[in-house]
Amino acid sequence: MSKNNRIIQSAFLYTILVFYIILSLSIIIFKYVSPLELLNEGRPIFRSINILPFRTIKGYLTGTFYVSRSVVLKNILGNIGLFIPLGIYLQLLKKDKRIFVSIFFVIIISLSVEIIQFVLAIGAADIDDILLNCAGGIIGILFYRLLSILIKNDDKIRTAITILSSVIGIPLILMTVILLIFQN
């Protein structure tokens, strides 16, 4: 791959990564309160915590929590799906590609998100979210590993992930942005 193509590819890949991070923050951290509202004393305060593993997931699946199927799917699949790209990007961008190091980063990032939600009183801190996020991150890590077994060339893996990011990532980002705009 020529140096110019690699630079263009890297710029595109990092641009998608930045949009992914911004979108993830808006979905996870700022879904109820905008960053500017954090400083407002009159803003709504929402703080809860669940430290019992699988309590929320079980409540969703058994019908104990009275929420619609769409909320259940959005919560479970959303928490998993949102962290799949994180696992892929961690493997792609880190020099240390050991699986356990990447899983550790996924756990720390997911735990940090839940702590931020609790401390800032902008959401529910839930161990089940951490478990689902970690499942998504692990899926992303394993996807990268599968690609590396199939392709075996780092430049070609990077190209494949760039293409997948554009084919899958851009439409998902646009769809989510449109949904966020029409929700408010």
* 123: three-class secondary structure by DSSP: strand
CA–CA distance, 99 with 137 (Å, rounded to integer): 11
pTM beyond 0.95: no
User: According to the model, what pLDDT value does residue 183 have?
Assistant: 65
Q: How confident is the model at residue 5 (pLDDT cuts 50, 70, 90)?
A: confident
Instruction: Find all residues with CB under 8 Å of 12, minimum gap 6, and list them.
Output: 162, 165, 166
| Tens digits of residue pLDDT in 16-32 | 898 889 889 888 888 88
| Tens digits of residue pLDDT in 45-97 | 888 999 999 999 999 988 888 888 888 998 999 999 999 999 999 999 999 99
User: According to the model, what pLDDT value does residue 184 have?
Assistant: 55
| Tens digits of residue pLDDT in 130-181 | 999 999 999 999 999 999 999 999 999 999 999 988 888 778 778 877 876 7
CA–CA distance, 83 with 102 (Å, rounded to integer): 12
